[in-house]
Amino acid sequence: MFGALGLLAGVTPATPAFAAGGFAVAQPMAPAGPLSGRTIVVDPGHGGRDPGAMANGIREKDVNLAMGLGLKPMLESRGAKVILTRASDVALGPNEDADLQARVAAAQQAHASAFVSIHANAMPGNAGYAGATTYYGPTCGFRSGASQSPVDVGRSYSLGRRIQAKLVQATGEADHGTQPQTFWVLGDPGIPAVLVETAFVTNKDEAAKLADPGYQAQIDNAIADGVADFFASGDADKQPAPPSSAVRSCVGPPPAQEPPTVWVQTFLPAPLLAGPDPNAKQFTMLSPFFYLKVLGSAKNYLYVINPETNGPGYVEAAKVGPSGPPPSFEPFWVENFAPTGVWSGPAGGIRFGTAPRWSFFQVVAPQDGPRLFVKVAATGNVAYVDAKDVGPSGPPR
């Protein structure tokens, strides 16, 4: 199933009360129902450098995102709290494995009630193949090395078959059933988790429907109905039996894999030290919410890599918490609409000179301070320019 092979969580803040005539007026509460108080993580598959399946003028990542954004308010209107793994066209990690694990981590960190990953499928060489499938994870066999209990498998299967039934009923798609599959995102999130393959971009008719916002809304409403049915059934709190085909023997070595990458984030200012001791040499003071890759541990310290400098060091474990990988950054182009200074740093620093109006710059790092770190198109050199002096642009013409 090619559309699902390459699988920052955007948290929607609670709607604040607003002032009217000096009084705080609370927003109306969502109706009570089976989703009331439940947290659902919606995962629009692919994104950023990974387009997913492509055919008939459709990029899978685009329709996945559109359906994810549409599903969110439908679930919220039924009382759920919804977290999107991505709300724009971004990758969630520096490589495929990190991207996939970030989606699982979003559900784990949110203590979510269910995880729903949205995809479109592809069947190269068979343009007539069509239909919908909903997948759930078996007990083991995942490339990540994850495993899960038969209870978790049974709950995921119960969620999947309810979504699949509603999807087929609402869209008339061919029913390819609810099947076990070892997709990374279905391995050990610790909650009911499914991956919905809504239709085939390689089928011309289905691709046209997937591009239609009205059809996307049909799919979203069907998924929301299926999620609501699952929680109304009580299976989320029971132990529904899993299909025997999904309960595998987990004896023996796990699949070949790279060791999982562990990330943490500081939540207090934290010194990066030369050793696991408070008296060790201090390299720098890390700001709150700084990402660190963990290589090991010693005493009460973690041995980490600073991703900005690629330098190793130790940080006190009590000052960091678990995290997904840093958000990916994709360079983009800007152009200055007034002569702007070219500087050596994000604030202060040495002014190298002045770039004339309509110079092109490629922004190569997230903004840090009032300036942007750029590559100057005219010279290929890197420097900082004031963000207020530039605006969005395409590449040099």
pLDDT tens digits for range 312-359: 789 999 998 887 777 666 788 899 998 999 988 888 888 989 999 999
- Asked if residue 11 lies in contact with residue 40, where contact means CB atoms within 8 angstroms, the answer is no
Give the residues of the chain that fall short of pLDDT 70: 1-32, 251-260, 307-311, 327-329
pLDDT at 134: 96
pLDDT at 183: 93
pLDDT at 12: 33
pLDDT at 176: 93
pLDDT at 28: 44
What pTM was computed for the model?
0.59
- Report the 3 state secondary structure along the chain: CHHHCCCCCEECCCCCCEEECCEEECCCCCCCCCCCCCEEEEEECCECCECCCEECCEEHHHHHHHHHHHHHHHHHCCCCEEEECCCCCCCCCCCHHHHHHHHHHHHHHCCCCEEEEEEEECCCCCCCCCCEEEEECCCCCCCCCCCCCHHHHHHHHHHHHHHHHHHHHHHCCCEEEEEECCCHHHCCCCCCEEEEEEEECCCHHHHHHHCCHHHHHHHHHHHHHHHHHHHHHCHHHCCCCCCHHHCCCCCCCCCCCCCCCEEEEECCCEEEECCCCCCCCEEEEECCCCEEEEEEEECCEEEEEECCCCEEEEEEHHHEEEECCCCCCCCEEEEECCCEEEECCCCCCCEEEEECCCCEEEECCCCCCCEEEEEECCCCCEEEEEHHHEEEECCCC
pLDDT at 393: 85
pLDDT at 7: 36
